[in-house]
Amino acid sequence: MKSSPLIATCVALALMISAGIDRADERRVKYSDLPPAVKETVQRETQGATVKGYSREVENGKIEYEVETMLDRKSRDIAIDPSGKIIEVEQQISPDAVPAAAMAAIRKGAGGGSIQKVEEVKSDSETAYEAQIAAHGKHREIRVRADGSPAPEQH
């Protein structure tokens, strides 16, 4: 039995959206609340940027810290584990900088909605592209790989 491409696309989009809902325990923290190794990474990685805030969250049972920054009017969020290792970096980029296959998948997934922001998301295991979509008064995210295939959240 063959499934239609539309059904497959809808299932993939539902999985991508649900992946973003997995942030169970997230709270804002102050710089003084960060572990020393995280502070060291933050100091090194935020030079020249404006720090917007810090958070501590539990992602899949593991503690991580996130620093939200702005540089040249573009957002850059860095997820760091308690030992100071960078887990993931989300960097706002121009839609023109997104690989063609990824941008085509984002536009298709937006389904006529407005693409508000695109970020390149880099981790040890892969690079993905995450778009924030606004449609009918609601916001959602689409996350794809460079080839346009769905990319669930890794960390």
CATH code at 126? 3.10.450.360
The answer to whether residue 100 is domain-embedded is yes
User: What is the per-residue pLDDT for 90?
Assistant: 97
Q: How far apart are CA 83 and CA 56, in angstroms?
A: 14
pLDDT 10s digits, 26-64: 899 999 999 999 999 999 999 999 999 999 999 889 999
Measured from the Cβ of residue 145, the count of other Cβ atoms closer than 10 Å reads 16
The answer to whether residue 137 is domain-embedded is yes
Q: In terms of residue numbers, what domain contains 17?
A: 5-145
The answer to whether residue 151 is domain-embedded is no
Number of domains in the chain: 1
The answer to whether residue 155 is domain-embedded is no
Residue 13 pLDDT > 60: no
